[in-house]
Amino acid sequence: MRNVFVLKQTSQLKALYTIIRDRNTGGDDFIFYSDRIIRILIEQALDLLPVNHKKIITSTNEKFDGVSFKGEICAVSIMRAGESMEKGVREVCKKIRIGKILIQRDEKTAKPHLIYSKLPHDLSKRYILLLDPMLATGGSVCTAIEVLKKKNVPEDKIIFINLLACPEGINHLMKTFPKIKIITGVIDKGLNSKSYVVPGLGDFGDRYFGT
């Protein structure tokens, strides 16, 4: 699907996902191996950003045709689970600004409700890395994107990064906001009767933060 990017399913990546999917994996290992996947996702997401051509002189006094980053970026985490991805962003993006959006899902209706947002004042001038580990129904991320659009952020400057997605969420998100980009680690089978991704890995936030 256009604007949907999935990590190459290498043996190494499959091993990482096997660890974090396993219900017997302890907290420390879940965090460690999730962080490895998040780092890979962030690097791949940055590769979707535009660049400028740049000529430099190397330390051997040779000319080199390279590139430089174009425009500034901002990460926005959908709380609470999205905060687990902030460390990975900071490790590869020096002095990056991070905004936060709190959305709670009604467990009976599975509908999202905006509770809180705190975002940089110059958000509309930046490319946005929107962070949330799981894409299930797509309700929460759609609400978050609406918040960003009200801050005059163009759709095509938003990259939604998640570890695990399902077809229902992807289809809903791309139908609603066709110009955004999605990068995910893996696309699972679908949703169960409770709107949980299956086979999935459980509640990411609870497992990552140990609650």
User: What distance in Å separates the CA atoms of residue 173 and residue 137, rounded to the nearest whole number?
Assistant: 9
Query: Catalytic one among 35, 36, 105, 176?
Result: 105
DSSP classification of residue 49: S
Question: Is 206 part of the annotated catalytic residue set?
Answer: yes
Question: Is 105 part of the annotated catalytic residue set?
Answer: yes
Strand 181-187 and strand 134-135: the pairing is unpaired
Question: Is 132 part of the annotated catalytic residue set?
Answer: no
- Torsions phi, psi for 170 (to 5 deg): -60, -45
User: What distance in Å separates the CA atoms of residue 76 and residue 62, rounded to the nearest whole number?
Assistant: 40
Q: CB 1: neighbour CB atoms within 10 A?
A: 11
Strand 158-165 and strand 134-135: the pairing is parallel
CA distances for 169 relative to 78, 162, 184, 209, angstroms: 16, 12, 12, 24
Query: Catalytic one among 109, 126, 132, 184?
Result: 109
Q: Residue 129: name the closest of 114, 144, 111 by CA.
A: 144
Strand 63-69 and strand 158-165: the pairing is unpaired
Question: Is 106 part of the annotated catalytic residue set?
Answer: no
Active site residues: 105, 109, 203, 206
